[in-house]
């Protein structure tokens, strides 16, 4: 009964971009229950898994969360409800898995063979937890790791000659330069992130299904968005992703780190 109540509260908070009560998840203290909650919330929302996100701080194990069809947005869209990115926006690569990966022991070479395309992406962050990304990790997992939505750019199939850990990434807001970065994401190489996720899911009896994609980690850190901003991120050699905000939940533009979420 408690798990059903948690799932109902989390699903309702996702629909409304609300925030849970301070003590709503106080008895959730293990990852097994947190991942079961992800499944229950998915069922409550009637959603389909279209991708995954992960993080792996050096002092802790990989954690992951599914990305849902109801939170997938096409590049160039106008976002009417800016609450969906009230906790910021990240510039990431989304890697589309076209072929099955090994159920355990997955390597970078396996990922190289299985990924059919890469896409520039924005991850929009919207934690439903009172303490946001300072919450305990089990609660962050239950909340879908703070994912609000994903904005996907055009697919790039001719990517194998690129060094994904050495990409030049440029973020613009209203044609003003926000940041330029050269290099990879917190995993270094996005392909390694996919291998880590595949092995993590295998331990839980799950797999990366062909047709799904993986958000492989931020290349630029976390940035707040100004009201009515036009956001555009260019991954050199791959393409760009864009989003127009209709209002915004926050009014500053600064780089942060959510490495532990």
> Block means of pLDDT (10 residues each) for the chain, length 261 residues?
89 96 94 96 97 86 96 96 94 98 97 98 98 96 98 97 95 95 90 96 96 96 92 98 77 40 43
- The radius of gyration of the chain from alpha carbons, rounded to an integer in Å, stands at 17
Domain extent for 150: 2-256
Q: Quick check: is 129 in a domain?
A: yes
For residue 247, the model assigns a pLDDT of 64
For residue 184, the model assigns a pLDDT of 83
What is the number of structural domains in the chain? 1
Cβ-count burial 156-179 (b if 16+ within 10 Å, e if not): beebeeeebeebebbbbbeeeebb
pTM: 0.92
Q: Quick check: is 221 in a domain?
A: yes
Distance CA 137, CA 166 (A): 30
Report which secondary-structure segment, H or E, holds 49: strand 49-55
- Closest C-alpha to 66, from 84, 57, 83, 54: 54
Distance CA 187, CA 24 (A): 32
Q: Quick check: is 95 in a domain?
A: yes
For residue 250, the model assigns a pLDDT of 40
Q: Quick check: is 261 in a domain?
A: no
DSSP 131: T
Q: Quick check: is 130 in a domain?
A: yes
Q: How far apart are the first and last CA of the chain?
A: 27
The number of angstroms, rounded, from the C-alpha of 188 to the middle of its chain's C-alpha atoms is: 16
Q: Quick check: is 15 in a domain?
A: yes
Q: Quick check: is 107 in a domain?
A: yes
DSSP 248: -
List the CATH number of the domain containing 117: 3.90.850.10
């Amino acid at each position: 009964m408690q798990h059903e109540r948690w799932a109902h509260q989390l699903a309702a908070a996702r629909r409304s971009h609300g925030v849970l009560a301070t003590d709503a998840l106080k008895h959730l203290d293990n990852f097994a229950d947190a991942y079961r909650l992800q499944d229950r919330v998915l069922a409550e929302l009637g959603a389909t898994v279209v991708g995954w996100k992960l993080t792996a701080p050096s002092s802790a194990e990989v954690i992951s969360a599914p990305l849902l069809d109801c939170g997938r947005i096409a590049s160039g869209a106008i976002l009417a409800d800016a609450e969906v990115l009230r906790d910021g926006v990240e510039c990431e690569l989304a890697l589309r898995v076209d072929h099955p990966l090994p159920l355990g022991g997955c390597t970078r070479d396996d990922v190289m063979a299985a990924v059919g395309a890469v896409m520039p992406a924005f991850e929009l962050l919207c934690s439903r937890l009172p303490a946001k990304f300072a919450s305990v990790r089990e609660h962050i997992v239950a909340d879908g790791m703070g994912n609000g939505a994903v904005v996907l750019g055009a697919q790039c199939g001719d990517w194998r000659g690129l060094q994904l850990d050495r990409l030049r990434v440029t973020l613009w807001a209203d044609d003003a330069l926000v940041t330029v970065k050269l290099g990879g994401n917190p995993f270094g190489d996005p392909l390694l992130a996919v291998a880590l996720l595949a092995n993590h899911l295998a331990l839980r009896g799950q797999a990366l299904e062909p047709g799904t994609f993986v958000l492989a980690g931020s290349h630029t850190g976390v940035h707040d968005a100004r009201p009515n901003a036009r956001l555009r991120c260019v991954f050199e050699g791959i393409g760009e992703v864009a989003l127009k905000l209709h209002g915004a939940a926050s009014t500053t533009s600064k780089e942060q780190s959510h490495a532990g979420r």
